[in-house]
Homo-oligomer: A and B are copies of this chain.
Amino acid sequence: MKEYQKNLLWGTANMFNNPRYMHGAGTSCNPDAFAYAAAQAKKAIEVTVRLNGSGYTFWGGREGYETLLNTNMGLELDNMARLLHLATDYGRSIGFKGAFYIEPKPKEPTKHQYDFDASTVIGFLRKYGLNMKLNLEANHGTLAGHTFQHELRVARTEGYFGSVDANIGDLLLGWDTDQFPNDVYDSTFAMYEILKAGGFTTGGLNFDAKARRASFQPDDIFISHIMGMDTMALGLRMADKLIQDGRIDQFVEDRYAGYKSGIGKKIVDGTVTIQELEKYALEMGDVKTNKSGRQEYLEGVVNQILFG
- A interface, CB within 8 angstroms of B: 19-20, 22-23, 29-36, 38-43, 66-75, 77-79, 82, 86-87, 89-90, 106-109, 111-112, 116-117, 119-120, 122-124, 126-127, 142-147, 149-150, 153-154, 157, 170-175, 180, 182-185, 189, 211-217, 219-220, 223-224, 226-228, 230-231, 234, 248, 251-252, 255-256, 258-259, 262-264, 267-268, 270, 272-275, 277-278, 280-282, 284, 286-300, 302-303, 306-307
Given A184-B306, A277-B38 in contact, is the A258-B290 Cβ separation under 8 Å? no
Residues of B within 8 A of A107 (CB): 145, 172-173
| A269 → B minimal CB distance (Å) | 10
Residues of B within 8 A of A264 (CB): 31, 34
A82 to B264, CA, bound (A): 12
A298 to B275, CA, bound (A): 51
A273 to B38, CA, bound (A): 10
Q: Are B29 and A255 interface neighbours, CB within 8 A?
A: yes
Q: Are A220 and B42 interface neighbours, CB within 8 A?
A: no
| A276 → B minimal CB distance (Å) | 9
- A sample of 7 inter-chain contacts (CB < 8 A) reads A22-B216, A29-B258, A32-B290, A70-B298, A182-B300, A306-B307, A307-B307
Task: Pick from B123, B217, B252, B294: contact of A215, CB below 8 A.
Answer: B294
A121 to B252, CA, bound (A): 25
| A147 → B minimal CB distance (Å) | 7
A70 to B119, CA, bound (A): 20
Q: Are A293 and B174 interface neighbours, CB within 8 A?
A: no
| A30 → B minimal CB distance (Å) | 6
Residues of B within 8 A of A231 (CB): 303
| A182, closest chain B residue (CB) | B299
Q: Are B297 and A39 interface neighbours, CB within 8 A?
A: no
Residues of B within 8 A of A86 (CB): 272-274, 277
Task: Pick from B20, B147, B157, B230: contact of A77, CB below 8 A.
Answer: B157
Residues of B within 8 A of A77 (CB): 157
| A103 → B minimal CB distance (Å) | 17
